[in-house]
Amino acid sequence: MQTAKIVHDPADVSTRLAELGLKEELLLEALRQANLYRVRTTNHHPRLYRYQVMTAETIAALRDLLVPEGWQKLDEGQYELTRNPSGTMAIAVASGDDNVAQVERTPSNKSPKGRHTIAAVESNRQADMFADLLPVKEVDTETPRDTWVLLHRVTKSGIHSELSRPTEISDDGMIALWSERILLGKIELDGDPVQINPPDQPDIDIVISKKSA
């Protein structure tokens, strides 16, 4: 079984993220901004929103921070991504389980993902399998070559996160293997986290048909 490359030393994290055109502080800032919305939720908010707010607001903040640097918003098929200027990498955001940012453990997403995530992970796996066999070809700007996931987990003490590249996912949408994990610094928090048991919400395709005359 493939063993994930784990980058966790602060200096190595900065260097690796720079190679990807990113900065750790920018990723952490997106999570900080999202947390401002999370802590304002109450029992009067819709339950689904209270579960999704951290992920949704992280996506928005990440785009706010990266689009001015040439990155692009990509949301085909309700699959929300932020893609780099060259089209070679895209970032998804997901809540993770208790293993997020743990060096000795393998994390996964907290709730099942749909067919778009499964297809993206399969694309990563195929790229790894045939990287040395296939000739270099022009990047398809409609389909990112690599999809990474900004995983986050909120606890009483802080927000734990990592930017990682998945390469194996089960048929029910749970990521089981990563080729590389970049562990980010912990965001310290005060107070208790909002603990919500989410309903299963895989990627959804909404088809709108015109009403016939």
Determine the Cα–Cα distance for residues 133 and 207; give it in Å rounded to an integer. 38
> Residue 165: is its pLDDT beyond 60?
yes
> Residue 197: is its pLDDT beyond 50?
no
Query: Does residue 36 fall inside a structural domain?
Result: yes
Question: How many domains does the chain divide into?
Answer: 1
- φ, ψ for residue 141, nearest 5 deg: -70, -10
Query: What pTM value is reported for the model?
Result: 0.82
What's residue 121's pLDDT? 81
Give me 165's structure tokens: 């590249």
Query: Does residue 161 fall inside a structural domain?
Result: yes
Residue 73 structural domain: 5-188
Amino acid identity of residue 28, one-letter, is L
- In the predicted model, what is the mean pLDDT of the chain? 85
pLDDT band at 143 (very low <50, low <70, confident <90, very high): low
Query: Does residue 195 fall inside a structural domain?
Result: no
Query: Does residue 126 fall inside a structural domain?
Result: yes
What's residue 142's pLDDT? 53
For the chain, first and last CA: distance in Å? 57
> Residue 192: is its pLDDT beyond 50?
no
pLDDT band at 204 (very low <50, low <70, confident <90, very high): very low
Averaged pLDDT, 9-30: 98
pLDDT in tens, 105-115: 999 999 878 78
Query: Does residue 149 fall inside a structural domain?
Result: yes
Query: Does residue 197 fall inside a structural domain?
Result: no
